[in-house]
Structure 1
Amino acid sequence: MPNDYFEFQQFRIAQAACAMKVSTDACLLGAVADLHGATRLLDIGTGTGLLALMAAQRHPGVDIEAIEIDEAAAAQAAENVAASPWASRIRVQPLSLAAYAGTQPASFSHIICNPPFFQQSLRSPDAARSTARHTAPDTLSFAELAGFAAEFLASNGLLTVLLPPLEMAAFEREAGQVQLHPATRLVVRHRAGSRVLRHIVGFRRVAGPVVETELAIRATAGEDYSPAFRALLAGFYLAL
């Protein structure tokens, strides 16, 4: 499929009347998640379907489940999927993770998630946006996400999560409680040498050395994207 399809798809998602727009976080996670050997993938908190669509574009052999607790966002995701060339491989369900777990799905080779992470900040007055960005008793918790992955991830499966550094440390503690261990870590900075913005970590059941790499979004000077960022996202943005 030509690259301009995804740019059009992204535009539709960004303009959708729903809580969350396309973000750099989601685009990075969708582009860097290791899909090697993927057969069955779950996108937890799909929003308007971006990660599921990116996974389908990147890996023609994977079947994708996408769940979203916000009904309006889930409806938009289903519409975006239906308009895509990959509709036969993506199923969107308007469910919380707990409700989805109750359906006892088959195991997954890959699970991807950009979970709520503003644990200590004030909640947004926009309820849908707040659900997507904050942890709270009524939304997805780190313990719930780790516990689900421990139950439904295949023995050699991979859970890939994007979080800021402090929140990632908290999630790693929860994951360790259920014997999920970091295997890869991408450290994301605005520019080389600047503070760390995000960690994208791949978790497996077997503990071992962690392969760590770094990515700067912007070039050293000016506002241009870095060559590495351009190369990573070039398959999804015509502008790059």
Structure 2
Amino acid sequence: MSQEPFKFKQFSIDQDRCAMKIGTDGVLLGAWSSLDHNPASILDIGTGTGLIALMLAQRSEAELIDALEIENNAYEQAVENFEKSDWGDRLFCYHAGFDEFVEEMRDEEKYDLIISNPPFFSEDYKSGNDNRDQARFADALPLEELIEGSSLLLSKEGHLDLIIPFSEESNALNNAKKHGLFPNRITRVKGTESAPIKRSLIRFGFRETELEIEELILEISRHNYTEEFKKLVKDFYLKL
């Protein structure tokens, strides 16, 4: 596997020590997340390489962007990626589990935006690579635990943004409702026009508002991207 950094327009990311490499899901979420409420503080849960936190540092004026990562190699690499960026003074990474972090921070100042590209897989299958399994499997951070903890750390007018498998969408909505969070925007993602829906991008908040549902198609054909997708990620990918 290449040891070269992954270069974006305004930053680059080393990922040679991270179990989960940069993928479309993280870039989608980092570009899709709304900053219309001008968040002063942001939390990226399970930051991995630090990608989403860096994207939000590029896009926002938030004074505080915290990231959380439990896996040691990923944590160290995220710290290095933050330090070499133009926004190192606004980015901070915690090396802790989410439950521990919530317990420590729940009585502190709340976050205006919490964002996560969480571990997806809830199947019994494991790959045998402990770091990769921890990054990918939902038992490392169950969806309900992620939503409940986020509800305790979120400011009154803040929102929680997630990207999850479409198959988990109804589960996420039900869990969020238990903790006083309501969806106000859902974007369902398909690889191509004829492909099944693969992912759901969801924005939750404490206010129950009219739900906006959209669809995003990524490609017309292999490596022939839709204008909608290109517009969304144009500030990041070098070749778009």
TM-score, structure 2 as length reference: 0.91
Q: Which protein is richer in helix relative to its size? A: 1
1:150 corresponds to = 151
**Which residue identity does 2:17 align to in structure 1?**
A
State the secondary structure of the residue aligned to 2:8.
helix
CA contact (8 A) 1:182 1:210 kept: yes
User: Is 1:127 aligned with 2:130?
Assistant: yes
Deviations 1:5-53 (A, max 9, x none): 734744x334x22211100000000100112221100000000100000
Q: Which protein is richer in strand relative to its size? A: 2
| Worse-superposed segment, 22-31 or 187-196 | 187-196
CA displacement at 1:60 relative to structure 2: 2.3
CA displacement at 1:121 relative to structure 2: 5.1
CA displacement at 1:62 relative to structure 2: 4.1
1:211 corresponds to = 212
**Which residue identity does 1:175 align to in structure 2?**
A
CA contact (8 A) 2:10 2:236 kept: no
1:101 corresponds to = 102
State the secondary structure of the residue aligned to 1:88.
coil
CA contact (8 A) 1:13 1:21 kept: no
1:31 corresponds to = 31
CA contact (8 A) 1:13 1:22 kept: no
Number of positions where the alignment pairs a residue of Structure 1 with one of Structure 2: 232
- Measured in 2, the distance between the counterparts of 1:31 and 1:196 equals 19
Deviations 1:67-125 (A, max 9, x none): 00101101000000000000000101111111111222420100001111211251221
Structure 1 residue ranges, 4+ long, deviating more than 3 angstroms after superposition: 7-10
When the two chains are superposed, the root-mean-square deviation of aligned CA atoms in Å is: 1.7
CA contact (8 A) 2:43 2:114 kept: yes
- Measured in 1, the distance between the counterparts of 2:9 and 2:153 equals 33
TM-score, structure 1 as length reference: 0.91
State the secondary structure of the residue aligned to 1:87.
coil
CA displacement at 1:200 relative to structure 2: 0.3
1:18 corresponds to = 18
Deviations 1:140-190 (A, max 9, x none): 111211111211111111000100111122122111111111110011100
Report % sequence identity: 31
Does the C-alpha gap of structure 1 residues 58 and 5 become closer, same or farther in structure 2, counting only changes over 3 Å?
A: farther
- Measured in 2, the distance between the counterparts of 1:222 and 1:120 equals 29
Gaps of 5+ in 1: none
Does the C-alpha gap of structure 1 residues 121 and 226 become closer, same or farther in structure 2, counting only changes over 3 Å?
A: farther
1:147-226 equivalences under 5 Å are 147-219=148-220, 221-226=221-226
Gaps of 5+ in 2: 1-5
1:115 corresponds to = 118
**Which residue identity does 1:77 align to in structure 2?**
A
CA contact (8 A) 2:9 2:235 kept: no
